[in-house]
Amino acid sequence: MASKPTITEVENAFFPAREIRDPNRFAGRKTYVEEAYYALLSEGTNIAVIGNRGIGKSSLARQLMNIAAGKNELLDKLSIATDKPLDFLPIYLACGKETSSHTELLEKLLTIKECLLDWSYDIPRALRSLEKYQPKFNVGIAALGGEKATESTFESTQPQHDVETVFTNVVAAIAEEKLAKNGILIVVDEFDQIKDKSGFASFLKSLATNVPQVKFCIVGVAHDMQELIKEHGSADRLFAGGIINLPPMASEELAMIIRDAERSINRVIEFDDNATEKLVKLSQGHPYMVHLIGKYAFRHAFKTGCKDISNDDIETTLKSIAESGTDPILENRYKKAVASSGQREVVLKCLAEVQAGNLEIHTADAYKKSIDQGVDNPSQFVGHLVTDDFGAEITKIRERYYRFSDSLFMAYVLARPPIVDQTVR
Ligand SMILES: Nc1ncnc2c1ncn2[C@@H]1O[C@H](COP(=O)(O)OP(=O)(O)OP(=O)(O)O)[C@@H](O)[C@H]1O
Ligand SMILES: [Mg+2]
* Secondary structure (DSSP) of 41-56: HSTT--EEEEE-TTSS
User: Is it the case that residue 143 has pLDDT exceeding 50?
Assistant: no
Q: Rounded distance, CA 290 to CA 200, Å?
A: 35
pLDDT tens-digit readout, 355-387: 987 778 999 999 999 999 999 999 999 999 999
| Shortest-distance ligand to the CA of residue 54 | 1
Average of pLDDT values for 135-139? Answer: 51
Q: Cβ(220) to ligand 1 under 6 A?
A: no
Percent of the chain with pLDDT over 90: 58
Q: Cβ(257) to ligand 1 under 6 A?
A: yes
Q: Cβ(168) to ligand 1 under 6 A?
A: no
Task: Tell me: cis bond preceding 5? Omega within 30 of 0 counts.
Answer: no
pLDDT band at 234 (very low <50, low <70, confident <90, very high): low
> Which helix or strand (DSSP H or E) is residue 64 part of?
helix 57-68
Q: Rounded distance, CA 352 to CA 365, Å?
A: 11
| Shortest-distance ligand to the CA of residue 246 | 1
Which ligand 1 atom sits nearest the alpha carbon of residue 290? 12
Average of pLDDT values for 190-216? Answer: 88
Distance from the alpha carbon of residue 4 to the mean position of ligand 2, in angstroms: 33
For ligand 1, atom 31, the nearest C-alpha belongs to 19
Least confident of 28-42, 50-64, 105-119, 405-419: 105-119
User: Ligand 1 pocket test: which of 18, 20, 263, 292 has the largest number of ligand atoms within 8 Å of its C-beta?
Assistant: 20
User: Is it the case that residue 30 has pLDDT exceeding 80?
Assistant: yes
Q: Rounded distance, CA 402 to CA 34, Å?
A: 34
pLDDT band at 314 (very low <50, low <70, confident <90, very high): very high
Calculate the alpha carbon distances from 304 to 134, 262, 300, 325 in Å: 62, 17, 6, 21
Calculate the alpha carbon distances from 41 to 47, 91, 241 in Å: 11, 17, 11
